[in-house]
Chain A
């Protein structure tokens, strides 16, 4: 089956620093999303980005579908950015099953 690999697994930043999270996937996809899991466990949708680039405030994401990777950029990080970031994909030939990477755990220190 499709492999979804996220890197790095863990990241510690000082408040104000920038970071890049990466997601590699092993097959063609028709859905790619980035989620942030908050301390209460809810998965918050950050971006729906099967291709191209999007920006939302301090966050932006780029997916290069032909090269099978996506990047999530966090600029001027804040302590509230802490948590686990997941990349998830659904296959082009699939009827909708979302497959998750193992996540990147981000800790932003004040």
Chain B
């Protein structure tokens, strides 16, 4: 089975800190995604990547950046964390070659910014 691993399950950071959320997948998937989930707002796409060094903005990219230097790793960066970025962050990956299946999600990171 494809495994998507997020580096932290819970994280507490201070306002203004630079925060890195790491996501690693082990099945050579081309596409990777970062979502955040908030009560009443559902899951919203922050950024995604088609392949190494490629990135595209999702629906709510403000305040975030991403890095994909290697195919298996997709990092979400909060340049200067703010309290409104307190949320559940979910990473996903997907294969796009012929016969591709669905998306696989990591276990999530609950980030609290104080």
Binding site for B on A (CB under 8 A): 31, 33, 35, 40-45, 48, 86, 88, 95-98, 100-103
Contact = CB atoms under 8 A, between A and B. Distances in A.
Contacts of A31: 102-103
A42 B108 contact: yes
Interface of B: 9, 31, 33, 37, 42-43, 45, 48, 50, 56, 58, 88, 90, 92, 94, 96, 101-108, 110
Contact of A97 (B48, B88, B96, B104): B48
Contact of A41 (B31, B45, B107): B107
B101 A48 contact: yes
Most chain-A Cβ atoms within 10 A of its Cβ — which of B43, B88, B104, B108? B43
A44 B96 CA distance: 20
Contact of B102 (A33, A95, A101): A33
Given A41-B90, A42-B105, A96-B94, 17 more contacts: A31-B103, A40-B108, A41-B37, A41-B88, A41-B107, A41-B108, A42-B106, A42-B108, A43-B92, A43-B105, A44-B105, A48-B101, A48-B102, A96-B33, A98-B33, A101-B42, A103-B42
